């Protein structure tokens, strides 16, 4: 099934890393979008079911990107309730952004599949863009990325690849009922990732392994909200245990091309200047 160009597609998390990219692609193709957020003209809030009907009115399909993460307690049930409400209102085409190796995310997948929706699941690994658009950007700029993780290898994946697949799922036939497990083309440790960013920027950026207690204490010192601390604690103590230390072919199956490599991302991102540090600041 492909969506019609007359009705908009609801993009929950429409200002996030994948949602924003998907919105750009759909808009460029002449397909109207409705950004699902608390501050939108038609507000949407995952935690406020009273906002769901208004967000779903008059749309053709929806991209489900749960905030802050599907691993949190109750998240899978919330996604299920929203999906059932969408189906009841005649919005059956749903694409879910899921997380690889997360029990809560896989529960959300199963619940979605049982709703009667025409579903596609994008089960993604750690985004490249966490180093340029999320909580690790400040660490990269500071020249030291300190995390409670060792030599576990992750198949980091590009958010642009994910957005390309979501766009295809809404605009091409053949994606209904598909679960795409999405990884990059190679396994990398966090020290290797940081070294590649350093090479792309020409900067000396260090990776330091720290105890998880020190990491959590640092988050508290930065006034990071507790739900995000809980999420990061689960990520670094459970998910990053080697369970995702394998490559998958989801990008190839969905797009007919290989996934983007981290080195290409690092070079392109360095060229934008987002990792640039003025000489005075770098030497201070």
Would you give per-residue pLDDT tens digits along the chain (284 residues)?
A: 566 558 999 999 999 999 999 999 999 999 999 999 999 999 999 999 999 999 999 999 999 999 989 988 899 999 999 999 999 999 999 999 999 999 999 999 999 999 999 999 999 999 999 999 988 999 999 999 999 998 999 999 999 999 999 999 999 999 999 999 999 999 999 999 999 999 999 999 999 999 999 999 988 998 888 888 888 888 888 889 999 999 999 999 999 999 999 999 999 999 999 999 986 455 55
Q: Are 94 and 61 in contact (CB under 8 A)?
A: yes
List the chain domain ranges: 9-127+157-184+246-260
What pTM was estimated for this model as a whole?
Answer: 0.94
Place of tokens 């981290």: 262
9-127+157-184+246-260 CATH pick, 2.40.30.10, 3.40.50.720, 1.10.1370.10, 3.30.230.70:
3.40.50.720
Torsion of CA 157, 159, 165, 171, to 10 degrees: 180
pLDDT reported for residue 230? 86
């Amino acid at each position: 099934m492909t969506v019609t160009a007359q009705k908009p597609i609801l993009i929950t998390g429409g200002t996030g890393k994948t949602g924003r990219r998907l919105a750009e692609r759909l808009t460029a193709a002449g397909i109207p979008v409705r950004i699902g957020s608390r501050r939108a003209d038609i507000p949407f809030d995952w935690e406020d079911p009273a906002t769901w009907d208004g967000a779903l009115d008059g749309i053709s399909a929806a991209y489900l990107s749960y905030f802050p993460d599907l691993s949190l307690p109750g998240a899978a049930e919330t996604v299920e309730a929203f999906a059932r409400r969408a189906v009841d209102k005649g919005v059956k085409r749903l694409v879910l952004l899921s997380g690889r190796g997360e029990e809560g995310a896989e529960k959300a997948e199963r619940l979605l599949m049982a709703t009667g929706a025409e579903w596609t699941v994008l089960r993604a690994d750690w985004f490249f863009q966490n180093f340029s658009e999320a909580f690790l950007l400040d660490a990269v700029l500071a020249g030291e990325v300190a995390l409670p993780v060792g030599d576990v290898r992750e198949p980091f994946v590009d958010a642009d690849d994910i957005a390309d697949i979501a766009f295809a799922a809404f605009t091409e036939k053949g994606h209904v009922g598909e679960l795409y497990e999405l990884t990059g083309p190679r396994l990398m440790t966090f020290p290797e990732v940081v070294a590649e960013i350093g090479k792309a920027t020409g900067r000396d950026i260090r990776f330091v392994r720290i105890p998880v207690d020190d990491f959590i204490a640092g988050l508290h010192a930065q006034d990071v909200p507790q739900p995000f601390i809980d999420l990061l604690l689960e990520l670094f103590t459970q998910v990053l245990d080697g369970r995702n230390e394998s490559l998958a072919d989801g990008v190839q199956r969905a797009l007919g091309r290989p996934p983007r490599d981290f080195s290409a991302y690092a070079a392109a991102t360095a060229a934008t200047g987002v990792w640039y540090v003025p000489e005075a600041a770098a030497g201070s």
